[in-house]
Amino acid sequence: MGPDNKIGSLEFSIVVFLIVGLLVVAGFHFFSEDAIGLVEGLEDFGEGKMEEVTDFKYPVLRQELAEAGTLGQERDISIESCDELYSSIGNQAEGNFYLENDLDCLPEDEEITDSFGGILDGRGYKIENMNSPLFGTNSGEIKNLRLNGIIVDEGGTTGAVARENSGIIENTTVSGEIHGGSNVGGLVGTNSGEITASASVAHANGTGSNVGGLTGSNSGTVNNSYATGYAGGEDTVGGLIGSNTGTVKNTYAATRVVSEGSRGGLTGSGSAENSFWSTDAAGISPEEDNGGGTPKTDDLMESKIIYTDPLTSGLEEPWDFEKIWTMG
């Protein structure tokens, strides 16, 4: 290439560079919304911190990281043993209870009480080795609680906290395995009340329809909550909720979803606001999804940017990473 050609090539490159710069200033985007949000968000981490981004996993609730005994408050009736858990609440289902410590309970054949209408404040402590739901139905308030166990209720509506919830469940996390019929969820079987700032990392498996990582069916509200793990059933299976006719906002699911019928990464049916689901975790494509929420790949789901950057598709308003969420 001669000198004149080199100069012409250089001039052409400068012209192209100037045109591209002017288009960017004018607001023209060459990349997808998610890619723009991810790139812009990396600036927040500062120099020398780029590798931290790759270490981020999905968001978690701040209360999950709190030390046991630091959440909630002491109430009227303290519970220090599994015997007290069953006898005290069983005899006074409208009472005001709190846990004094972690409980490792021997398997019981049935829930503590058919109907609970009081307050149970776990204060961040855990109840382990449960093999039945805590309650048949909950119309009271359950908060700051951790549950773990293997619950098997063939053919029934079931969940770790309650079969049916019409009350309030807040700051509650469950792990383990939940097996039932229809309306099976990690947290509750059905919800017509309020679930907020709660999570399930359990495996929920039903022989029928309406199975979800968090709740099998929802006609109430589910806010600032998530599910990871597994959800499997015959029909209407979702990573977070099986069948949804209620309100779902600021949620996500990174759950393996298995069903020969209707299935969705977040909900098996019904819509959701400001919510996402992982295509990698779900094992289904956006085209196969029958529910709500916005599909994202894992590399995006593991970045704080998509939950806070207004350029993110599917994000109507930023999630609260000051008081509610943090990255895992």
Determine how many CB atoms are found less than 10 A away from the CB of residue 68: 15
- The region of weakest confidence among 22-36, 75-89, 140-154, 179-193 is 22-36
> What value does the mean pLDDT take over residues 276-293?
96
176 φψ region: left (φ > 0), alpha (ψ -120 to 50), beta (else)? left
3-state class percentages of the chain: helix first, strand second, coil last, to nearest 5: 20, 40, 40
CA–CA separation, 312 vs 308, rounded Å? Answer: 8
Contact assessment for residue 138 and residue 116, using Cβ atoms and an 8 Å cutoff: yes
Contact residues for 283 (Cβ-Cβ < 8 A; gap 6+): 256, 257, 258
CA–CA separation, 284 vs 93, rounded Å? Answer: 43
Highest mean pLDDT among 5-9, 61-65, 109-113, 248-252: 248-252
pLDDT tens sequence across 240-277: 999 999 999 999 999 999 999 999 999 999 999 999 99
- What are the C-alpha distances in Å from 303 to residues 165, 237, 307? 33, 26, 8
Contact assessment for residue 141 and residue 161, using Cβ atoms and an 8 Å cutoff: no
Structure tokens at 69: 């005994």
Contact assessment for residue 78 and residue 100, using Cβ atoms and an 8 Å cutoff: yes
Q: Which residue has the higher pLDDT, 58 or 3?
A: 58
Residue ranges of domains in the chain: 59-327
Q: Which residue has the higher pLDDT, 319 or 91?
A: 319
28 φ/ψ angles, rounded to the nearest 5 degrees: -75, 130
Give the confidence band of 187 by pLDDT, cuts at 50, 70, 90: very high
Contact assessment for residue 145 and residue 167, using Cβ atoms and an 8 Å cutoff: no
CA–CA separation, 43 vs 50, rounded Å? Answer: 9
Q: Which residue has the higher pLDDT, 46 or 301?
A: 301
- What are the C-alpha distances in Å from 286 to residues 66, 141, 265, 295? 35, 36, 8, 6
CATH code for 59-327?
2.160.20.110
CA–CA separation, 214 vs 234, rounded Å? Answer: 17
CA–CA separation, 179 vs 237, rounded Å? Answer: 14
Q: 32-43 burial, b for 16+ CB within 10 Å, e for fewer?
A: ebbebbbeebee
Contact assessment for residue 150 and residue 131, using Cβ atoms and an 8 Å cutoff: yes
Among 159, 164, 185, 187, which residue's Cα sits nearest to residue 237?
A: 185
Q: Which residue has the tokens 């509610």?
A: 324
% of the chain beyond a pLDDT of 90: 70
pTM: 0.81
% of the chain beyond a pLDDT of 70: 82
Q: 267-278 burial, b for 16+ CB within 10 Å, e for fewer?
A: bbbbebebbbbb
Residue 72 exposed, middle or buried by CB count within 10 Å (0-12, 13-18, 19+)? buried
Structure tokens at 89: 């609440």
Q: Which residue has the higher pLDDT, 325 or 22?
A: 325
* Paired strand residues for 143: 121, 170
Q: Is the predicted pLDDT of residue 117 greater than 80, yes or no?
A: yes
Q: What is the structure's pLDDT at 28?
A: 39
Structure tokens at 204: 């929920």
pLDDT tens sequence across 20-74: 344 333 443 333 333 323 223 222 322 322 233 334 389 999 999 888 888 887 7
